[in-house]
Amino acid sequence: MKRIDRSKKVRTGFHQAKWDEPIIFELSTPGERGVSVPKASAAVAAAVGDGISDLPDHLKRKERVNLPEISQNRVLRHYMRLSQMTLGADVNIEIGQGTCTMKYSPKVNEQLARLVADMHPLQDEDTVQGMLQMYYEMDLYMREISGLDKFTFQPGGGSQAIFLMASMVRGYFESIGEADQRTEVITTLYSHPSDAAAPAVTGYDIVYVQPDPDTGLPDLEAFKAVCSEKTAAFMVANPEDTGLFNGHIKELVDYAHSVGALCCYDQANGNAVLGVARAKEAGFDMCHFNLHKTFSSPHGCSGPACGAAGVVEKLIPFLPVPSVEFDGKKYRLECDFADEEHGVSKVRAFMGVAPVVLRAYCWIRMLGPNGLWQVTKTAVLNNNYLFKRMMSIPGISAYYEDGNNQRVEQCRYTMEQVTKDTGITSGDVQRRMMDFGMHFWTSHHPYYLPEPITLEPTESPSKKDIDEYVDTVAHIIQECYQTPDIVKAAPHRSTIHQVDERWMDDPDGWAITWKIYNRKYK
Amino acid sequence: MIQIGLIVNPVAGLGGSVGLKGTDGMVEEALRRGAEPLSNERAKTALRGLLPLKDEAVIYTGSGDLGEASARSLGFETQVLHETSGSTGAGDTRALAKKLALRGVDLILFAGGDGTAADMYEAIGEKHPVLGIPTGVKIYSPVYATTPAAAGELARLYLTGFRSELEQAEVLDIDEEQYRLGRVDVRLRGYLSVPRKNRLIQGRKAPSLLSEQAAADAIAAAVIRDMEQDVCYLIGAGTTTYRVTERLGLAGTLIGVDLICNKQLIEADVYGSRILELAAGRPLKLVLTVTGGQGFLLGRGNQQLTPAVLQAVGKDNIIVIATQLKLASLGGRPLLLDTGSEETDRELSGYYKVIAGHNRYIAAKAE
């Protein structure tokens, strides 16, 4: 026997599991059951009824429910296989999904969050004092982190928090009689697309400000040109997706205030500013944090999440209800603060996704104020180390790189030179990275920078992890020049190979449920 | 059987290597200076990209230098539809293009420069699928692929159904006389239908809800929604603006300026003084899009909009429309104004809220 050779810098031997697993509906066998529920025995039925006859008629199904009929072990096997075919956050060096803040979620928080599974939101307040205390204190922490005056945890995601902010903007202007006049929301091109999409859903016209071609920051002159008495709000991320922090954001905020508009700070990704900069000092009226990003609760692919939204004093009446209040002895749910006519009242049932809030609460409690600051310092240091190493790969560069523009927690790079030299795009490299078990995100569409790559390490990876990630990117860039066909045909060792994307922007061809699939593709 | 049309302008590119900025009317001078014809060589580079289809394709082309020699040298089954003896000219390009369109070939590949593209447009208009192989000196028209090899690749993807969408790309022409004197004056000659190179989902990417076409439709709907009663609207040249006329069901022009009022066409293809005459006494608004590849708002392809007309309209009544992708392609550079009057340029400069979709605007500077 020889020593195992570990001299390779990249995992050329990686191969993801591929189970060729059908859709669960295809696994259905008529009559097969996961659980056989016995009918109530005569004695039980006599004592409390049979459990079915008492149901009112309008609640009873007329037809059989169309669910897969499948035994427990087959269900378990199915989902275990799917989980193995997923490139999840716990199995890869999660640097490649820039803007998503894919940090490590400590497992002890997961254990605590599971305790909530046995509670019900309609339980009597007296029986859930601990949970209410958690919500109450979480509000205090978020106030401290942002400088704003009150928070809600009701939104079930970042976009819903932005939707809530836009709704509160509308409510506020209704309350002062300016809703008809203020029809526009201004955002920037490098802010998250939801900063435009969510206010558009609430009926606002959206005006984008483009970045200054030299600095990459929002063009102040353009901002002033479009800011007017028609402006309801300015919605912006800072840093934006480029990883550039705008030290002059207050100038934009002040100008928006001078025309009577409100300012909303998208801090979905707040990893660059914990303990460093706050919404309050920059003059914002509202902000939101994604607890499933900065505050370590796992991301759920549109699954359980929380966009914690906060406001300044004058906007408290527009927050959704209820909030948790404390009289020194007891925690209780409170609705009295709300403006009944113009307030938002609800964006989601009950108190939002409680386990997500609890995980974030645990995370904050474990770190404390200095720990939070350390998170940001480490995330920024990691990113700047990553930046230096990425920029040393031939063919990779970044825009707005004039020496004064240090990146904070993430960066959007470009591999335009590689594409010019080899014809290989950042989308091709994205697929090739799957062959090494890693993500590699390009950018939102349409691309504003050519052949973009957006990376964000967060505070979680070690130097060794970052080195492995960059070595893998460098390995693939070298392949672009030496063996381009391998990159173009990638992925080769992933769960699936290249998909035929011809039909992807044709909604008529989409089948997003089993029912639609069966209707469209008989 | 796949039917491919091929037209090579054999003298395209001749002027470039000997310091002439184009070849129109300069063939003899170029040859005298020792220029070597390379157009057929570059056309062959493109055709090599189609070699995988050799067994199932026929190339229809013109005799000798017009394409036959190149196609045959690579072993393609070749049929000559147009005979020429001795020197060839623009007339051959046009005659062959007409015959290929009549024959109904799947795609016409034409090798040349901006002048050749203009000949193609004159001969067959904007309906028939074509694709340019860049072999000329100056190529401003996006009907051309970026390189001959890229043309071959795109043609193969199109002919095998991998890329089935067509888009209308601009045929631009530079006044070569002016260009030789160092002055660039781009005219919009028309549009050709070419396989779509870029979609809103660039490269092979995740799906996007709106294709570029749907975005243009949304923009047109927004313009129509906001049209006011008894206001005259001048609809400028370009595919994005043409969607407005199209959506209203009016017989407007693609490269001209049309005047409409109360959603009815007053007159198509209007110009300068005629505009002022027709609109007399009524408020006038102007719908413009970005043309000419380099981001021109005024002065390229819309010279009908004279300084006098623009003065009558005024900056506040100019409605600029463009898709997000189109604006992004300018990389933050301003929209350009070149109306022929410095004073008018100055008055119209500044920020515009460009309509980029349903209730979506992008602040863009014009200067």
**A191: in domain:** yes
Contact indicator for B171, B193 with CB cutoff of 8 Å: no
Are B334 and B295 in a shared domain?
yes
Structure tokens at A313: 């004093």
CA A66, A69, A72 angle in degrees (round to 5)? 135
Q: Tokens 């029809």, residue?
A: A183
- Point out the residue among A206, A426, A427 whose CB comes nearest to the CB of B360: A206
Place of tokens 């909009």: B305
Question: Measured between alpha carbons, how far is A43 from B91 in angstroms, rounded to an integer?
Answer: 101
For residues B178 and B122, membership in a common domain is answered with yes
Is residue A215 predicted with pLDDT exceeding 60?
yes
Q: Which residues does chain A have within 8 Å of residue B147's beta carbon, measured at their own beta carbons? A: none
Q: Once rounded to an integer, what is the mean pLDDT over residues B4-33?
A: 76
Q: Closest to A207 (Cβ–Cβ): which among B205, B325, B353?
A: B353
Q: Is the pLDDT of residue B101 over 90?
A: yes
Please name the member of A206, A208, A505 whose beta carbon is closest to the beta carbon of B211.
Answer: A505
Residues B132, B143: contact at Cβ < 8 Å?
yes
Instruction: Assess if residue B207 is contained within a domain.
Output: no
Say if CB B151 and CB B145 are below 8 A apart.
yes
Query: What CA–CA distance (Å, rounded) separates A160 from A170?
Result: 15
Query: Does residue A348 sit within a domain?
Result: yes
Are residues B172 and B310 located together in one domain of the fold?
no
The pLDDT score that the predictor gives to residue B203 is 34
- Give mean pLDDT, residues B239-266: 90
Q: What is the DSSP letter of B65?
A: G
Full residue range of the structural domain in which residue B272 is found = 212-366
Residue A470 lies in a domain: no
Distance between CA atoms of B325 and A444, rounded to whole angstroms?
12
Percentage of chain B modeled with pLDDT above 90: 44
Examine the pLDDT at A156 and tell me if it is beyond 70. Answer: yes
Residues B145 and B292 in one domain: no
What confidence tier does A407 reach under pLDDT thresholds 50, 70, 90?
very high
Looking at per-residue pLDDT, the higher value among A187 and A299 belongs to: A187
Interhelix angle for A129-146 vs A354-391, to 10°? 30
For residue A467, which amino acid is it?
D
When pLDDT is cut at 50, 70 and 90, the band that residue A345 belongs to is very high
| Integer Cα distance of B160 and B183 in angstroms | 42
Measured CA to CA in angstroms, residue B220 lies from A86, A315, B214, B231, B241 at distances of: 42, 38, 10, 17, 7
Distance CA B253, CA B276 (A): 19
By CB atoms closer than 10 A (0-12, 13-18, 19+), residue A361 is buried
To the nearest whole Å, the CA of A364 is away from the closest chain B CA by 35
> Is the same domain home to B248 and B359?
yes
> Comparing C-alpha atoms, which of A249, A276, A269 is closest to residue A377?
A276
CA angle at residue B237 from B235 to B243, to 5 degrees?
A: 65
**CA A57, CA A479: separation in Å to the nearest integer?**
66
Tell me which chain B residues have a C-beta less than 8 angstroms from the C-beta of A196. Answer: 360
Q: What is the predicted pLDDT for the residue at A306?
A: 95
Chain B residues with CB under 8 Å of A221 CB are 351, 365
| B122 close to B98: Cβ distance less than 8 angstroms | no
**Percent of chain A scored above 70 by pLDDT?**
98
Question: Does a structural domain hold residue B176?
Answer: yes
Q: How many residues does chain A have?
A: 522
Q: What is the pLDDT of residue B201?
A: 32
For the ranges A50-54, A198-202, B55-59, the lowest mean pLDDT is seen at A50-54
Question: Are residues B119 and B173 located together in one domain of the fold?
Answer: yes
Contact A504 B331 (CB under 8 A): no
Whether residue B187 has pLDDT greater than 80: no
Does residue A39 belong to any structural domain of this protein? no
pLDDT of B306 > 80? The answer is yes
Q: What is the pLDDT of residue B206?
A: 29
Q: Which residue matches tokens 């009295």?
A: A336
CB contact under 8 A, B361 and A206: yes
Tokens 């964006």 -> residue: A347
Q: Are residues B316 and B170 in the same domain?
A: no
B254 occurs within a structural domain = yes
Please give the mean pLDDT across all residues of chain A.
93
pLDDT exceeds cutoff 80 at B291: no
Residues of B in contact with A185 (CB under 8 A): none
Supply the CATH number for residue A208's domain.
3.40.640.10
Cβ–Cβ below 8 Å for B332 and A425: no
> Which pLDDT value is given to residue A115?
85
User: Cβ distance A27 to A64 under 8 Å?
Assistant: no
- Tell if the CB–CB gap between A447 and B328 is shorter than 8 Å: yes
Verify whether the Cβ–Cβ distance B362 to A210 is below 8 Å.
yes
Q: What is the pLDDT of residues A419-461, one digit of tens each?
A: 989 989 999 999 999 999 999 999 987 788 889 999 999 999 9
Place of tokens 């992008």: B362
The predicted model gives A238-267 an average pLDDT of 96
pLDDT of residue B157: 85
Contacts of A446 (CB under 8 A, 6+ apart): B200, B202, B208, B324, B325, B328
Q: In Å, how far is B175's CA from the nearest CA of chain A?
A: 30
Question: A247: phi > 0 → left, psi -120 to 50 → alpha, else beta; which?
Answer: alpha
Q: Which phi and psi (to 5°) does residue A356 adopt? A: -65, -45
Decide if B307 is inside a domain: yes
Structure token pair of residue B354: 């460009």
Has residue B204 been placed in a domain?
no
CA-nearest residue to A503 within chain B is B207
- Closest of B110, B85, B91, B96 to residue B62, by C-alpha: B96
Vertex B169: Cα angle to B166 and B170 (nearest 5): 165
**Measured torsion, CA atoms of residues A140, A141, A145, A146, in degrees rounded to the nearest 10:** -30
Residue B340, token pair as written in the block: 């022929």
Residue B203 within a domain = no
DSSP assignments along A397-427, one per residue:
EESS-SSS--B-S-EEEE-HHHHHHH---HH
State whether A502 and B331 contact (CB < 8 Å).
no
Stretch B99-115: mean pLDDT, rounded?
Answer: 93
Q: How many domains does chain B have?
A: 2
Q: Is the pLDDT of residue B138 over 70?
A: no
How many folded domains does chain A comprise? Answer: 1
What residues are paired with A237 via a beta bridge?
A: A266
Nearest Cα neighbor of B284 from B257, B302, B307, B261 is B261
One-letter-per-residue 3-state SS of A57-80? HHHCCCCCCCCCCCCHHHHHHHHH
Q: B262 vs chain A: nearest CA distance in angstroms?
A: 25
In DSSP notation, A282-315 reads TT-SEEEEETTTTT-PPP-SSSS--EEEEE-GGG
- The residue of B147, B157, B320, B362 whose CB has the most chain A CBs within 10 angstroms, and thus the best one to mutate to test that interface, is B362
- By Cβ distance, the residue of A219, A425, A502 closest to B203 is A425
d(CA A449, CA B331): 7
Residue A374 DSSP symbol:
H
Chain A interface disruption, residue of B204, B290, B324, B326, most A CBs within 10 A: B204
Residue A303's pLDDT is 61
User: pLDDT tens, A62-114?
Assistant: 888 889 999 999 999 999 999 999 998 889 999 999 999 999 999 999 998 88
B151 and B240 in a single domain? The answer is no
Closest Cα partner for A210 from A183, A184, A232, A242?
A: A242
Instruction: Say yes or no: B156 and B9 in one domain.
Output: yes
* Chain B contact residues (CB < 8 Å to A): 162-164, 199-211, 324-325, 327-328, 331-333, 350-351, 353, 356, 359-365
Cβ-based contacts under 8 A for chains A and B: 93
Return the pLDDT at B181: 57
* Distance between B20 CA and the closest CA of chain A, angstroms: 27
pLDDT for the residue B17: 55
Relative to beta strand B257-261, strand B264-270 is: antiparallel
Task: Identify the closest residue of chain B to A501 by CA–CA distance.
Answer: B204
Q: Which residue of A has its CA nearest to B328?
A: A448
Q: Find the mean pLDDT for residues A30-34.
A: 94
CATH classification at residue B36: 3.40.50.10330
Q: What is the pLDDT of residue B170?
A: 84
Closest Cβ opposite residue A208 in set B202, B205, B361: B361
Same domain, B186 and B221: no
- Output the six-digit token pair for B321: 């429309």
B52 plus B91 within the same structural domain = yes
Q: Is residue B263 part of a domain?
A: yes
What local confidence, expressed as pLDDT, does residue A116 receive? Answer: 87
Q: What is the pLDDT of residues A361-378, one digit of tens each?
A: 999 999 999 999 999 999
Concatenate the DSSP letters of all residues of A81-130 into one string: HHHHTS--TTTS-TTSSTTS------HHHHHHHHGGGG--TTS-GGGGHH
pLDDT mean over A26-47 = 93
**Residue A185 belongs to a domain:** yes
Q: Which two tokens stand for residue A133?
A: 């205390």
Residue B201 falls inside a structural domain: no
**Which among A200, A209, A498 has the least Cβ separation from residue B359?**
A200
Residues from chain A contacting residue B205 (CB–CB below 8 Å): 427, 442, 445, 501
Residue type, A110: E
> How much is the average pLDDT of B217-232?
94
Say which of B202, B207, B350 has its CB closest to residue A504.
B207
- Res. B43: pLDDT tops 70: yes
- Kindly state whether residues B31 and B66 are assigned to the same domain: yes
Distance from CA of B197 to the nearest CA of A (A): 13
| B362/A208 touch (CB, cutoff 8 Å), yes or no | yes
Cβ density class A314-345: b for 16+ within 10 Å, e for less: ebbbbbbbbbbeeeeeebebeeeebbeebbbb
Structural domain boundaries enclosing A117: 111-365
pLDDT > 90 fraction of chain A, expressed in percent and rounded: 82
